[in-house]
Structure 1
Amino acid sequence: MKVGIIDADLIGRKKHRFPNLVSEKISAYWKEKGAEVELKLDYEDLDVYDHVYISKVFTDTPFPKNIVESDRIHMGGTGFYFDKAPNLPDEIEHHMPDYHLYDAWIDSEVEKARKNHDDNEEAEYQKLINNPEYDEKGKLIVYEKKDFDEVNCRSQFKEYTDYSIGFVTRGCFRKCPFCVNQKYDRVFRHSPIDEFYDPDRKKVCLLDDNVLGCPEWKSILTELINLKKPFKFKQGMDERLLTDEKCEMLFGANYDGDYTFAFDNISDYDLIHKKLQLIRKYTSATNIKFYVLVGFESTDAIDIENMWKRVALLMEYRCLPYIMRYQNKNDTPWKMSKYKGIYITMARWCNQPSFLKKMSFREYCLANQKRHKTEGTLCAAMRALTLFETEHPEIAKKYFDLKFK
């Protein structure tokens, strides 16, 4: 039996750096049955496999139109079916993942990086040999080749190599219309941690949709804490469900990376404000991040203002906003907005903390203008700022000069 596994997002998205858990489970399932399993990095020669499994998470990941599902080709994931994605068979869903599925690909990527590094170093060396350069004192500049840093290169693949990954809960009761998680109206325990936990791996990554809404949240956090390894919930947690007890456990744990929440609706403003005060009662951590959904209810000035209201509140409590521009399986509304430039520029500013923490939105746009190469014209960021400020000066005056303190 020969099985091909295709992670469509890995092929179709630049710098995609997160393993497809379904692909890893399918691989482990078939390897256990003695099959020859291969991670395919293209869509060629699929007829040489007895079965081909193609998984896609993101709806906008490009995919060949000529490939269709059949008895031999199996396709799944939210990227294909959005909120109607079929469940995996239990024997695959609850199988320990194959954490080595991507090993050969990672090795290949490291070797490519090594070759590019060596080629660039040699090119720089030859340039100085053929065209000697001298410093300000007239001394010949000698080029010293730098060794390839394999450890640093491999660090970009840490999600593949360092983490045990899985779900301990499934479902959500919120039924948010923009969310793919529509199958269930409750949060329930899905699997024990040891179903996907590899003690040889340094950390644990949970993909749960709303773990804080599970009646067993306390026992789950206790189990994770007792592993004595850093852990994180990759999806945005529901801060509306935070209590003193939950905050004490969550912010006292050996947590890995950002605490990630979501601020999707302006209607939750007052409640989120109270929860931000609660968070700051238990931690002064600077790694508190909130997804900020935009472009869903509208893509007009009202949506831009509501985005800014949420961003300003998060900045007040030294939390990092991360702009999430809404898209569904059919279209991307913000791309049709007259304020498309604001959505793009806000995301570029907010989603890079090094910019957000050092400069206001206006300062960020001005910095882009200074790097603009075409003299006498505005860069894209300044065009976006100028258009919106001209039409809505009161909103711009209130928000465009805010600084992260």
Structure 2
Amino acid sequence: MRIAIIDADLIGRKRHRFPNLVCMKLSGFYKEQNCDVCLKTDYNGLRDFDKVFISKVFTDTLVPEEVLELPNVTYGGTGFFYDKAPKLSDEVEHHMPDYHLYDEWVYEQLAAGGKRCEYTYYLDYSIGFLTRGCFRKCSFCVNQNYDRVYVHSALSEFLDPERKKICLLDDNFLGCDAWREMLTELKETGKPFQFKQGLDERLLTEEKCEVLFSGKYDGDFIFAFDNVADAKLIEAKMKLARRFTNRVLKFYCFTGFDRADKWDDEFWRQDIFDLFIRIEILMRHKCLPYVMRFNRYVESPYRGMYINIARWCNQPSFFKKKSLREFADLNGKDSACYKYLSDFEEKFPEVAYFYDLKFERSSKDGVQEIKDC
């Protein structure tokens, strides 16, 4: 059979820096059945194939409706169905990914002037899930169908010995009872590994810190600080982590989501102040925020604040050296950034305190606080 595999996000988004794991598993399975498999990077000529599989991760990636109606097309993924996405068959789900599916496309990008580092996940990483599930049931998260974290697959299912690194996509790895055994196996490979979706800081213990931070970790350790109500617990865990590592700790800071579902002016104001409080706490403990905005932030009367706080935080070279006020000054007094911050400060003068926070100064204080404790 002739099989076309389409990564819809590859077609529909300007930047694509991560392969679609489902697409690679489908390719691996059908190539093993001696099918002629190709990665299709457009929607032309799909009737010429016996089967066409389309997958997408992001809900805002557009796919033409007429394509989805073709009789030889099967489509799936959270981008289409969110938490109602149909599962893959076990034989596909647990198949070794075809890590060469994207080769031709990657080489085209490199030949056109792309930097190799931008395609490292296509070229250097074994990718998969050791565990699935999460018990948190956060209202903004796709993982609504689980009550626990469970072992999903063996490392051998997706580990390519020829690839230098390992990337895990687990939802809440530290919530699994078998975390120690799996971390030990990862360390025994001798390969650098990372948890790209982040880890649950609230679940850290001395034992977990000792094992996790002694591993050959790839890049920054990433956690999440999504709710200011968790501040006391998160701060305690940061102090615990700092007893075991001086490595960069980065925290996803989710913002722009109203858990009370009111979406009024008071929510938007308080949400921005809550974000600043989290940023200040992270500064004190020499940790970096990475601001992630819920898509409804565009409805906020303070939309520009969300954009510029994210621009400041998500560029560590600026965040580590400049206060938010200094960052706005760099953009110039005629810039939209400067205007957004000025208008917000005029309306809420108390925000000035947060505008003048600096990572260098705050993190030094935080390190001293940790030593004292």
TM range (shorter): over 0.9
Match of 2:136 in 1: 174
Distance across 2 between alignment mates of 1:321 and 1:173: 24
Tell me, yes or no, if the aligned pair for 1:69 and 1:75 is still in contact at 8 Å: no
Alignment of 1:194-205 (within 5 A): 194-205=156-167
- Partner of residue 295, structure 1: 256
Q: 1:283 to 1:40 in 2, by over 3 A?
A: same
Q: Which residue of 1 aligns with 2:356?
A: 401
Q: 2:175 matched to which residue of 1? A: 213
Contact 1:211 1:217 in 2 (8 A): yes
Between the aligned partners of 1:369 and 1:224, the Cα distance in structure 2 is 48
User: Match for 2:335 among 365, 372, 379?
Assistant: 379
More deviation in 63-72 or 101-110?
63-72
SS in 1 for 2:359: coil
Partner residue in 2 for 1:17: 17
Q: Tell me which residue corresponds to 1:134.
A: none
Could you tell me which residue of structure 2 aligns to residue 110 of structure 1? 110
Whether the 8 Å CA contact 1:17–1:159 is kept in 2: the answer is: yes
Alignment check: 8 A CA contact 1:312 1:402 kept: yes
Question: Within 5 A, what are the aligned runs for 1:1-400?
Answer: 1-69=1-69, 71-113=71-113, 153-285=115-247, 287-297=248-258, 298=263, 300-326=268-294, 332-369=295-332, 378-394=334-350, 396-400=351-355
In structure 2, what residue type is equivalent to 1:398? Y
Identity of aligned residues (%): 55
Report the secondary structure of 1:113's partner residue.
Answer: coil
What is the alpha-carbon distance in structure 1 between the residues aligned to residue 276 and residue 61 of structure 2? 29
- Residue by residue over 1:177-203, the C-alpha shift from the partner in whole angstroms, topping out at 9 and shown as x without a partner, is 000011211000000000000111101
Identify unmatched segments of 5+ residues in structure 1.
115-152, 327-331, 371-377
- Partners of 1:64 and 1:315 in 2: CA distance: 45
State the 1:397 CA deviation. 2.0
Whole-Å Cα distance in 2 between the matches of residues 280 and 23 of structure 1?
A: 39
Q: Equivalents in 2 of 1:368, 1:154: separation in Å?
A: 30
Distance (Å, rounded) in 2 between the aligned partners of 1:69 and 1:231: 40
Offset of residue 63 of structure 1: 2.1
RMSD over aligned CA atoms reads: 1.2
For 2:3, what is the secondary structure of its paired residue?
Answer: strand
Q: How big is the shift at 1:109? A: 1.3
How far is 1:71 from its partner?
4.6
Deviation per CA, 1:131-150: give whole Å up to 9, x if none.
xxxxxxxxxxxxxxxxxxxx
How far apart, CA to CA, are the structure 2 residues paired with 1:343 and 1:11?
A: 28
Q: Could you tell me which amino acid in structure 2 is paired with residue 303 of structure 1?
A: D
Name the SS of the counterpart of 2:39 in structure 1.
strand
Give the structure-1-normalised TM-score.
Answer: 0.85
Q: Over alpha carbons, which structure has the higher Rg?
A: 1
TM-score by length of 2: 0.93
- How far residue 70 of structure 1 moved from its aligned partner, in angstroms, is 5.5
Deviation at 1:69, TM superposition (A): 4.9
Residue 33 (structure 1) shift: 0.5
**Distance in 1 separating the partners of 2:149 and 2:169:** 13
- Deviation, 1:67, is 2.2
Deviations 1:195-233 (A, max 9, x none): 000111101000000000001011110110111110000
- How many angstroms apart in 2 are the aligned matches of 1:63 and 1:9? 9
Distance, in Å, in 2 between the alignment partners of 1:29 and 1:226 is: 28
Q: Deviations over 1:166-185 (max 9, x none)?
A: 00000000000000011211
Question: Structure 1 220/300 Cα, relative in aligned 2: closer, same or farther at 3 Å?
Answer: same
1 CA distance for matches of 2:289 and 2:117?
25
Tell me the number of residue pairs that the alignment of Structure 1 and Structure 2 aligns.
353
Q: Partner amino acid for 2:178?
A: E
Counterpart of 1:132 in structure 2 is none
| C-alpha contact 1:291 1:323 (8 A) present in aligned 2 | yes
* In structure 2, distance between residues paired with 1:183 and 1:85: 11
Residues of 1 paired with 2:352 and 2:118: CA distance? 40
SS at match of 1:38: strand
Residue identity matched to 1:251: F
103-112 vs 160-169, greater mean Cα deviation:
103-112
Gapped runs of 5+ residues in structure 2?
361-373
Q: SS of the counterpart of 2:332?
A: helix
SS across alignment from 1:248: helix
- Stretches of 4+ aligned residues off by more than 4 angstroms: none
